[in-house]
Amino acid sequence: MVEIKVDDVYDVTIEKQDHFGRGIAKAKNMVIFIREALPEDHIKVEVTDVKKTFAIGKIKEMKKSSKQRTEPYCKYYDICGGCQIMHQKYPYQLEFKQKKVKELFSRYAEIGELEIESILHGKEFHYRNKVVFHGVNRILGFYKEKSKSLIKVKLCLLLEQELNIIYNKIIDYLNETPESTIRNLMIRKTSQNEFMIVVDGDLKDKNEFLEYIKDLNINSIFLNNQLVKGKRYITENIFDLDFRIYPEAFFQVNYEMMKALYQLVIDYYKKKKYNKILDLYCGTGTIGMLLSPYVNEVVGVEVVKDSIKAANQNKELNNITNIRFIEGKVEDKISSFKEIDSIVVDPPRSGLNSETIETILEISPQSIVYISCDPVTLARDLKVLLEDYELVKANLVDMFPNTYHIETVTILERKPKRTFNNYGILINLKHPYKKEDFVGMSLIKTKDINGKTILIDEIAYNHYLSFRSALAEEEIQIGIKSAYRTYEEQQKFYERATRKKEVNTVAPPGYSDFHTGLSLEIEVLSSPLEKSKAHKHTYKRLQELAPEYGFVLRYPKKKEKFTGRKAKKNQFRYVGSGISRVLEKHQITLEEYHNEKVEEDEE
């Protein structure tokens, strides 16, 4: 096969876009990603880089352009990289973002047919109310994509016009004062026409700088982390509530779309009658305070000190008494909460860490509203959350037109508690596991002897706890070594047993009792009956006591011809107390119980 090389040129038609908005084509059976290429473009592509499984290319010649194509308005578009899809007509940008979210949810969350209720959108240009410029070698501008090279611009079409005016005024100052340098410049504006600038740099004369920009009427000016003019904050208004914004506080950069997003959240909660809501990554407290009229109590958690300071001031400013804020990392604080009706999360781009997700599932709120700026990490987190929750609503908000970014609002509601009572069901090589046989089972999370999270049927676990307590009275300490296993997990066990030529000790995937969530490998941790680590006599005691709590030894000695498996001293199966007593009384296995139909004792 001929390999693709750098500088090769191929005649291709773009099939679709990847999640970064790049066009995708194939040449020599290799995928090529091409910036600024659109579906149905017919182009000559020049290969610029070759990786192991894909290549990067650029448009060398446009032979026939897509109907989706438009001329970018920005003259810096080809060199800046801040926008990625300005060459795509806006209605098609919205289509691309919807397809992107659906594909990511399908790939990472295994959601087949995602129904997106709406994609809310507003202005294509001049929507950003915050910007950060960087300075290097007396150039103040934007970094080129994936580089530290700076582009000096006169106008950014994404910014509200006043931000461009302030930027150009400060550029003029630098041009007239060569002794001054600026490393970073942040400019912020609110809908109330209040402005803040934060300057990090070395200015020749602070007072001279303030005099130079006095006509801009900036309300808050910080120089090297020191307030040098005006207030320490600027004020924003959302739905009749006022919010103070400090330099480091997070606040959405698209005001109109922020309101549209918050309205989605408000519309959901005002139909509920929740007592207590937990607002994680609460920032300056906007969402929590907007929801406060519809619940008895809101608790916000945020790690940024400036944000918490602003949040506490905001609740006083708006006379809101049913909300409180906690400063700290979400993963450090969340475990202390109980009896939460609903949780709102608006995490950073990295999403939720596994510890936070695990704690949310343990809290088990009635609903979760997950706001995300990255559908990849959102889909990853949803895959875990959807074990206990169902996705009832998904909305998109185009907070960042002309870029590949999209804001997603998903609403999850806890699956109803279900009942399952077929605890005597038989799973072996003749009777494979069938998911439909276990509808209504409620698997819960606990920890194994190594501290790893495992799943087990809720009823079986409650009986296990009673069994464990009874053994503890005899000074026998036990723990769970293994419980529920997925097909993939069982495959690993089976392959390991095959390599060791111990096939009859582990069932193949699809035929294992561990798929049920009713089988447990129980390990004796300590026992007064013997010093040997094998705990031969102790396991015999477990076997004797287990039926009182609905468990039986799944593979006892001298029963291999019925079970088809080698005897195993520590694998116990919950079958319910009625069946367990029958099996114990007649000294039979689950296989014999089903085949010979031994009559149960009447109770």
Catalytic residues: 373
Closest CA to 549 of 573, 525, 522: 573
Q: Is the CB of residue 341 less than 8 Å from the CB of residue 275?
A: yes
User: DSSP letters along 256-277, please?
Assistant: HHHHHHHHHHHHHHTTS--SEE
**b/e burial code for range 407-424 (CB count within 10 A of at least 16 → b):** bbbbbbebeeeeebeebb
Closest CA to 429 of 520, 517, 506: 506
Q: Is the CB of residue 516 less than 8 Å from the CB of residue 538?
A: no
Distance CA 570, CA 479 (A): 11
Handedness of CA 156, 161, 167, 172 (dihedral sign): positive
Distance CA 462, CA 366 (A): 22
Pairing of strands 54-64, 42-50: antiparallel
Collapsing DSSP states into helix, strand and coil, what is residue 465?
Answer: helix
Distance CA 224, CA 203 (A): 10
Which residues have C-beta within 8 Å of that of residue 434, sequence separation ≥ 6?
Answer: none
First and final C-alpha spacing in the chain: 74
How would you write 34-62 as a 3-class SS string? ECCCCCCCEEEEEEEEECCCEEEEEEEEE
DSSP state of 294: G
Angle between helices 354-363 and 375-385 (to 10 degrees): 40
Q: Is the CB of residue 298 less than 8 Å from the CB of residue 337?
A: no
Degrees, nearest 5: CA angle 278-283-285: 60
Angle between helices 458-473 and 536-545 (to 10 degrees): 120
Place of tokens 């490998």: 521
- CB under 8 A, 24+ apart: contacts of 28-31: 28/1, 28/2, 28/3, 28/4, 29/1, 30/4, 30/54, 30/55, 31/55
Quote the tokens at residue 396.
């998109």
